[in-house]
Amino acid sequence: GQQLNQSPQSMFIQEGEDVSMNCTSSSIFNTWLWYKQEPGEGPVLLIALYKAGELTSNGRLTAQFGITRKDSFLNISASIPSDVGIYFCAGQLSLGAQKLVFGQGTRLTINP
């Protein structure tokens, strides 16, 4: 089936550092979404991307939809303790495909 390869699998950083994670696929995606999940909770939508090349920000978060439509990245600037969690990329393969395909997640740990 379709897969999203998300990297890195985990990150250990100091508070205040910038973070970058990405997602790649062999398939072309129509939409890219980035979610954050905390223990025992459902994923929370952070950023949605709809067009190739699109760059979108949400506070300290910035995400881009790759030009080839096969990749996306998420950056977090000046990390703070509440950024801890698991970040998932998700994509929709085509306009007619409603379901989301998720990456394996990037676990972010921040040392104060």
Structural tokens at position 108: 């972010």
8: cis peptide before it, omega within 30°? yes
Least Å distance, CB 97 to another protein, is 9
Point out which span in 29-37, 56-64, 68-76, 77-85 binds another protein (CB under 8 A): 29-37
- The yes or no reply on residue 104 touching another protein (CB under 8 A) is yes
Sequence-distant (6+) residues with CB within 8 A of 72 are 22, 23, 29, 32, 34, 49, 63, 64, 65, 66, 89, 91
Pick the binder of another protein from 19, 33, 61, 76 (CB under 8 A).
Answer: 33
Which C-beta is closer to another protein: that of 31 or that of 79?
Answer: 31
- The yes or no reply on residue 45 touching another protein (CB under 8 A) is yes
Pick the binder of another protein from 21, 29, 34, 43 (CB under 8 A).
Answer: 43
Q: For every residue of 29-74, which 3-state class applies, written as one string?
A: CCEEEEEEECCCCCCEEEEEECCCCCEEEECCEEEEECCCCCEEEE
Point out which span in 12-20, 57-65, 73-81, 87-95 binds another protein (CB under 8 A): 87-95
Residues making contact with another protein (CB under 8 A):
4, 6, 31, 33, 35, 40-45, 48, 50, 88, 90, 92, 98-105
